[in-house]
Amino acid sequence: MLETHPPIAWPDAARQAAFEGWLRAAAPAHDLEIDSLQPASADASFRRYLRLATRGGGSCIVMDAPPPLEDVRPFVHVAGLLQAAGLHAPRVLAADIERGFLLLTDLGSEVYLDALRGATPAAADALMRDALTALVRFQQAVPAAALPPFDESLLARELALFPEWCVQREFGITWSAAETAVWQRSCRLLIDNALAQPVVAVHADWMPRNLMRGAAQPGILDFQDAVAGPISYDLASLLRDAFISWDEAQELDWAVRWWQQARAAALPVDADFGEFWRALEWMGLQRHLKVMGIFCRLKHRDGKPRYAADLPRFLAYAGKVALRYGPLKPLLRLLEPLSGARVGAGYTF
């Protein structure tokens, strides 16, 4: 007997009716068991994912991405690029672009984050090496020219999230004119570092929550924000993640492995690993400042406070990088009131 599940909650009756009509129309071509529909996952956006069985014993995923809050066109575009590149990512089986409904292939339910948290050191190393190999393949095979640019205006908008939502809204701190000047100089350094790097396809969130454990290669999720940008960005995202941390010796080992593979693949990576590591750390700092702003915005604007629980992890990342590079040290005076603790030194190149 087919297992039944509680009805899916819909805040909007008109959208529910549109969805049910679309799904009924798509069901015959894909052998969908409509009564098996159940929640699969949700994320920090306004998208949600539903899973349903097929008559052949498999399953599919439905993305519900309500416009105008969400736009599925970038997802569909990048999904096509990933498929053409031979990467393991969801394929779009059916779509209602205007109403934000997609039917996708199902990559399973074991995300990298869960697998890594329960893994032995050897198993974690194997998983991360697979993620590094897939990243090189992504950077090599996905054409950067087919993606929007990660340009100065975008970098600046991302950094602006930190003072607005983290410093002011989360911590209630207003910077002085001198502190604002420190922030502006630091932003200039980080933006210049990003713009000076070779440009490749950038997933923009290549981290364990967006990778699925797969038999041949990791499955890739949440790729709709892909851009053409700095070569170190995705590696920084993987090594210094929002939800799991590694010691720096392990970070370095994986970074060297990626760097060696990237050079073998003729990616435009710096021949000096020390200089590449510096660029990666500065790139990671830009990302961490942005993500702290996003996490606080999720808490204060969107009513999703759980992400802000990881602020200490990001403040620790940011503080260590600011401490070890002279031009960035002035940023410490802005970070320390948020962390409540001074940080120690680490590897320097």
Tens of each residue's pLDDT in the chain, 349 residues: 344 556 788 888 999 999 999 999 999 999 999 999 999 876 656 889 999 999 989 999 999 999 998 999 999 999 999 999 999 999 999 999 999 999 999 999 899 999 999 899 999 999 999 999 999 999 999 999 999 999 999 999 999 999 999 999 999 999 999 999 999 999 999 999 999 999 999 999 999 999 999 778 999 999 999 999 999 999 999 999 988 999 999 999 999 999 999 999 999 999 999 999 999 999 999 999 999 999 999 999 999 898 899 899 999 999 999 999 999 999 999 999 998 644 444 444 4
Whether the Cβ atoms of residue 282 and residue 189 lie closer than 8 Å to each other = yes
Q: Are 142 and 92 contained in the same domain?
A: no
Residues of the domain holding 68: 13-105
Q: Is residue 349 part of a domain?
A: no
- Regarding whether 212 and 75 lie in a shared domain, the answer is no
Same domain for 276 and 142: yes
Same domain, 177 and 289: yes
Residues 145 and 228 placed together within one structural domain of the fold:
yes
How far is the CA of 292 from the CAs of 69, 176, 312, in angstroms?
Answer: 21, 21, 10
Residue 112 lies in a domain: no
What type of residue is 173? I
Count of domains in the chain?
2
Q: What SS3 state is found at 102?
A: strand
Shared domain for 53 and 135, answered yes or no, is no
pTM above 0.85, yes or no: yes
- Domain stops at, among 105, 129, 162: 105
The DSSP-derived string for 211-272 is EE--SSS-EE---TT-EEEETTHHHHHHHS-SS----HHHHHHHHHHHHHHHHHTT----S-
132 shares a domain with 232: yes
Are 98 and 143 members of one domain?
A: no
Give the CATH number of the domain where residue 58 resides.
3.30.200.20
